[in-house]
Each structure stands twice: as C-alpha cells, then as structure tokens.
Chain A
C-alpha cells in the first residue's frame, strides 16, 4: 500500500509530455527509476541537421527508460575528446557525458562517431562508430542509445528492437511493425477483416498472425523482407494463437478441428500438425520457455481461465495461477525465471508478473483495460495494450513497476502489441 502511494506520488511529480516534431505519435512517461543516472549529451558535431535529429532520438530514448536524468547542455557547442573539461561537467552534476559527430558519406550513408565518458572517473567508457543507410537517422540514434544504456546499466538496450501490433479503425485492420518507440511505422497487412495475435519469429524475419480474411480464423506466416506470405494452418474451424519455438523450427498453435480449442505443434512449412493437449476444454495462448522445454498456456479446465505449464513435447500440465480472478496471456520472462500475464479481478484487467520459485504474483499496473503483455528482449520492460481517452493505445511498464509510458498513435485503436527481437 505504501509502495502504491509512493508510486502515485512519483507519478504526479514526473509526468512528462513529449510532443516530437514529427507528431504522428505522442508519448507520456510516468514515474522514474530508483536511481537515475545524470547524463549529459553534448551537441554532436558535423552535419548540423543530422546531429540535432540524432541527439533528439538519444535523449528521448534515455528519458523513456526512466533510468536517466538529462543534464542541461545549454551554451555548449560540439566537443572533441581533447576538449572535454571534466571538472566543468562535474560542476553541472553529470556522471556521464556523450560527445560525437555525424557525417554523410558520398554514397549517402550516415556515419556517427561517439564517445561515452565517465565524468567522475574521467575515463572513456566506450567509443564507437555507428553507420546506417541514408534516411535511417533514427536507427543511428537508437544504436547510440543502446550503447549508452548498456554501459551505464549493465543490461542490453532495446531501443533498436521492433514491435508489432494491430491498428483497428472502424472495421479496418492493419498489421503494423514499428520501432520500439512507436516511430517508423510500416504496414504489413491491411484489410477489412480482423487480424489477431502477431508473433515474431525468433530471428525477427517473419511474423505469424491470425487473419479472418477467409471468413474464419486462419494462420499466415509473412516475411518482413519480401512481404511474401504462406498459409501455416487453415484447418476447418479456428486456427489461432501462433507461438514460435526459440529455435524457429516449430510453432505451437491452437486448432478446433477436433472440437474444442486445443494445442498443437506444427512446422513453419505447415507440415506435421500434432495435437499435444487433450483436455476437451479451452486450451490456448501457448508460449515457449526460453530454453524451448516448456509451454505456458491458458486453460479453463479447472473451471476458470488460469495459467498452466506443460512439457513442450506434450505431457501432464501443472496449474501455475490460483486464487481470486482469472488469468490470461502468459509470457515467459527472457531469463525464464517468471512470467508476465493478464490478471482479471473485480472487472478490471491488470498486468501482473509471477516468479516460478516463490509463486508470488505482483501487479505491475493500477488496472483498467490492460491486455496482452510481452517482454522486451532484455526483460526490463513490458509492453501491453491499454486504453486512454477512449482509445486503444500501447503502453509499457518497467519490470519493477516503477516507470510507465503511454504511446498514442495517430488514429484508431492499437491492439495486440508484441515486442520483437
């Protein structure tokens, strides 16, 4: 209770609004990490326009994580390594300083060089060149953010990763892939029938998803490089809930061809569909453990929707969630030590997490219309579908529940988000 109260106090203190120049998206951040590292990002040298754009991306990335505080760089121009005066930066309160420059190669490639400096120890933490093809200025910024994040927190950054979600506007559905900050939207599929349950292949090259374009739910796999797709499962009845095995050689899916919703394994080419649950009740939303040995899934075999675990090859299932309410949409944490899921109690949906060892459930959100959680690859953030201002939006919460972020897309409802590699 005290923690809750504390969190809401923090929330009111740290409510920041971003209205990026490119206003297709707006982002709100609520809360802050326990210890925010004070970081200064000096203006980059070289191509002035690109330098400003890159710094903007880096600053916003780091702020969104909730783990950093930005030190004012007012009045500072771009710096070379030899020009850095550490005592000045110490006086400004910075513990880390990033400097750099950006140039455009004759072939149009963007090349940024940057250094990350420890202001307290007066040493260089990292120095690196990052390049990307023409127009990929955000990608360059995200790579720099990842390197800064990694050096200063010890965890891998996720600013260069991508997300997939479904945008619904009236009866129009779009399957969308975007950068993890919601920018750089690309429409993968657009149609007037529902699209559900996008699932990234482990290498990020393909999406499996459920489409109703044939009049009932079938599963497609689509390449994000060629846009070509093929039917994975179009059996009679419902074909849904695709989940990739970590080695990419198998998917768990849900079919009703034998009556109720049951789990099956199938190869990515659509061959060898093999049934692995026999409850006769609703078994759905499978998710592989990071080592590929187990599946978490949802079943109402015990009378209400709850989370179960079973060997991925098939075998006896063990109930994981108990107590009041119903539970949906389980997903393993990347370290395999717990899982995040959707908890419904007293008419509200919460994003919750449970540790395998303790069996303790922890609510990460205040509850509302919050659905479909999925972990960032580094396990530090969870993305989910939420609702605000009567619209479906994307939101994230840090795995300690402290930092929350809401992303408003241009129009329509954002649904079914899933964090990719």
Chain B
C-alpha cells in the first residue's frame, strides 16, 4: 500500500509539473512508474498527517509564477485563482511572508524594464492584499531584464521571462 501511495503521489506530482506552462528544466523524462495492479482504486487519499499546503505539490500553491503578454503588467485571468490561493494562504498564515520578483523580456531598455517588473510585482501584491494578505507579509523587487530564465532572442524564451515569481 505504501508503495502504491508513493507511486500515485509521484504520478500526480509529475502531472502537476507537466501542466505548468513553461517547463523548468526538469532533470529527465519521467521513468515509467512501477507497474501497479490495474484494479487498484486511485482515490487521492487525504494526507495522513497535516502538512503545510505549501509543501503539497498537488496544491495550487505549488504554482508560484504569473506570466504576462508583452509589455503587460496586469495579472492574467489564468493566473488569478493561483494568486488568490496564495492570498488566502497568507491571510491564514500571518507568520509567513513572500517576496514578489518581477521580471521582463529583453525588448525594452533595461531601465524601462526595471519599471515594468516593478509594476508586475505590484500587480500581484495588490491582488494578494485584496485577498486578505497583509502588507507586512509582502516584499516586492524588480529585476527587469537582468535575470532572464532563458537568454535566446525568441518568443519561446521571452514568454518565460515575462513573469512574477512568488517566493516564500
């Protein structure tokens, strides 16, 4: 049973990773999960011990980045439920805090992008505040285009760089 749980857990974890938009360089293609009896029921069992939902890879809180179209700084609809979930978590865990790091692609001046990254981080901050987080729990920083995740001159790269990271 324990093995089975681990397997299910692993599958779900990988699925969660795969569904994230831009893929962080994950080590390797997933090794096929050990064969499981076909008849095995697959209910996602409740965690046996109470774990911090932040540590649960299946939780929406496992997603920590918002992404943007070019030269846009408002949080996109697709990312709103995730940001709202972080707001709820922060409001329920007043001892936790986050650092919001705004980033941009390279298509602007460095200084303009510093401003744009600041605006992106502030947009996430406003949403967290509206959702019940306290200002004292939130720090914002902009890296502009200075800390790209990907350095090629193409949209596949740029879309990964236009983001705000929520870091606990």
Contact = CB atoms under 8 A, between A and B. Distances in A.
A396 interface: no
Interface of A: 194, 196-197, 212, 215-217, 237-238, 240-241, 254, 256, 259-261, 282-285, 298, 300, 304-305, 326, 328-329, 342, 344, 347, 369, 371-372, 415-416
A194 B144 CA distance: 10
B142 A284 contact: no
Contacts of B96: none
Given A216-B141, A282-B119, A369-B153, A238 B112 contact: no
A326 B114 contact: no
Interface of B: 71, 107-112, 114-116, 118-119, 122, 140-144, 146-147, 153
B141 A284 contact: no
Mostly, the B contact residues are mixed
29 contacts: A194-B143, A196-B114, A196-B144, A197-B111, A215-B141, A216-B142, A217-B114, A217-B142, A237-B118, A238-B114, A241-B111, A254-B111, A254-B114, A254-B115, A256-B118, A256-B142, A261-B115, A261-B119, A282-B116, A282-B119, A298-B111, A305-B108, A328-B108, A328-B109, A328-B111, A342-B109, A344-B108, A347-B107, A369-B153
Contacts of B143: 194, 212
Nearest to A298: B112
Contact of A305 (B110, B112, B114, B142): B112
A372 B109 contact: yes
B112 A285 contact: yes
B158 to A, nearest CB: 11
Nearest to B109: A328
Nearest to A283: B115
B119 to A, nearest CB: 7
B109 A240 contact: no
Contacts of A326: 108
A284 B116 CA distance: 11
Contacts of A240: 111, 114
A259 B115 CA distance: 10
Contacts of B144: 196
A233 to B, nearest CB: 14
A284 B146 contact: no
> 8 tightest CB-CB pairs across the interface, nearest first?
A282-B115, A261-B115, A328-B109, A194-B146, A216-B141, A284-B111, A241-B111, A329-B109
Identify the interface centre among A196, A217, A371: most chain B CB within 10 Å of its CB: A217
Contacts of A212: 143, 146
Given A256-B118, A371-B110, 20 more contacts: A196-B111, A196-B114, A216-B141, A217-B142, A237-B118, A238-B115, A238-B141, A240-B111, A241-B111, A260-B122, A261-B115, A261-B118, A282-B115, A283-B115, A284-B114, A285-B111, A298-B109, A298-B111, A371-B109, A415-B110
